[in-house]
Amino acid sequence: MGKSEIIAETGAGQHGVASALASALLGLKCRIYMGAKDVERQSPNVFRMRLMGAEVIPVHSGSATLKDACNEALRDWSGSYETAHYMLGTAAGPHPYPTIVREFQRMIGEEDEKRKSSTKRAVCQMPLSLASVAAQTLSGCLPILLMIPASG
């Protein structure tokens, strides 16, 4: 895609950690916007993001939460779209992002149901919220993840 940077926003920090990891694996710069209140509440995830080389930018405007972090990330991306890929972390924003998130969430659910029916027991032991985070992360970084070799 010819991009050298990743821009993302996060609230609780899971999407930020996933974005920082993907960026670190590919040698890309990473800027993560996070509401100042969330930075304080989620310091372990902020530590993880910074450990992987991401620049975590606290947002103090408005209510200093995810909504404002999204606005700042979009402002940044609108001025740097030629070099940056925006990894939207929630089912919001312009088409096709909400559709992509919905489809990944659907696929995760269908795969889990197939595994349950083929083994006659529950295979998936992760909470639904983690599946949602995985779908959101995949929707933003699928082009990047396709370049990472699978490990055994």
Summarised one tens digit per residue, pLDDT across range 67-101 is: 999 999 999 999 999 999 999 887 777 788 778 87
Helices (H), 42-96: 43-51, 66-80
**Distance in angstroms (rounded) separating the CA atoms of residues 30 and 86:** 10
**Distance in angstroms (rounded) separating the CA atoms of residues 34 and 56:** 7
Answer yes or no: is 45 within a domain.
yes
Q: Which residues contact 113 (CB under 8 A, 6 or more apart)?
A: none
**Distance in angstroms (rounded) separating the CA atoms of residues 11 and 15:** 8
pLDDT of residue 140: 52
Q: Residue 111: which CATH number?
A: 3.40.50.1100
Answer yes or no: is 151 within a domain.
no
Answer yes or no: is 122 within a domain.
yes
Quote the domain boundaries for residue 130: 5-145
- With both helix axes pointing from N to C terminus, report the angle between 43-51 and 14-26 in degrees, rounded to the nearest 10: 10
**Among 142, 54, 60, residue whose Cα is nearest residue 97:** 142
Is the C-alpha dihedral spanning 1, 90, 92, 39 positive or negative? negative
Q: Work out the pLDDT band at 136, boundaries 50, 70, 90.
A: low
Summarised one tens digit per residue, pLDDT across range 100-135 is: 878 888 898 888 888 877 776 554 454 444 445 555
End-to-end C-alpha distance for the chain, whole angstroms: 27
Answer yes or no: is 150 within a domain.
no
Number of structural domains found in the chain: 1
Query: Is-above-0.85 flag for pTM?
Result: no
